[in-house]
Chains A and B, each alone.
Chain A
């Protein structure tokens, strides 16, 4: 157990639907990051939050949004889902927001859009 908790582990939904992925960072970590990994692909950076504030954005689609709550857990909302959104979504956390600490990853949420 890495200390980063992601729920649900698996999600199957239909095109056009909306889903919410949840992440609880490791205790003491203030930064949360979301990454998307498609089948046999690399890790694509989506967004970073630090202590409740958005800190950096990657190539995140407009249909996707995220937030970090006062208790530091984060949610990634995916709407108007398309087949191409099927992927493994990872959440990671770290103490420092400036990328000088290693990231601890959760076990991921596997999203399948049918």
Chain B
């Protein structure tokens, strides 16, 4: 039931782009995205409630393909501050948020 994220890890230079995918084996009600820096609490980035919905947050945006049961997070022109572990969270029937396996992103100067 836990969604699977890919890739597991990404290494970038500042200014490069990245895509993180989140796939579910079950139909999704909604998808959340969070970023967690080492030793800190996860921080909410965005939520997608409808199939096909795309949202943006500064240079970070996401899409939700309800039919394919997956979501993707797009990071453009990455900055050092983007480093951290990104988690998607999937909601199947509104009763609980299950976090994905995580993607570790490292951005170097």
Chain A residues proximal to chain B, CB less than 8 Å:
2, 33, 35, 42-45, 48, 55-56, 58, 90, 98-108
Contacts and interface: CB of A to CB of B under 8 A. Distances in A.
Given A45-B99, A99-B32, A100-B49, 16 more contacts: A42-B87, A42-B99, A42-B101, A48-B95, A55-B95, A99-B97, A100-B30, A100-B47, A100-B94, A102-B32, A102-B47, A103-B34, A103-B42, A105-B43, A106-B41, A107-B40
Contacts of B91: 99
Nearest to B97: A99
A104 B30 CA distance: 17
Contacts of B25: none
B32 A103 contact: yes
Interface of B: 2, 29-30, 32, 34, 40-47, 49, 87, 91, 94-102
Contact of A43 (B42, B46, B47): B42
A99 B29 contact: yes
A45 B96 contact: yes
Nearest to B102: A42
B95 to A, nearest CB: 4
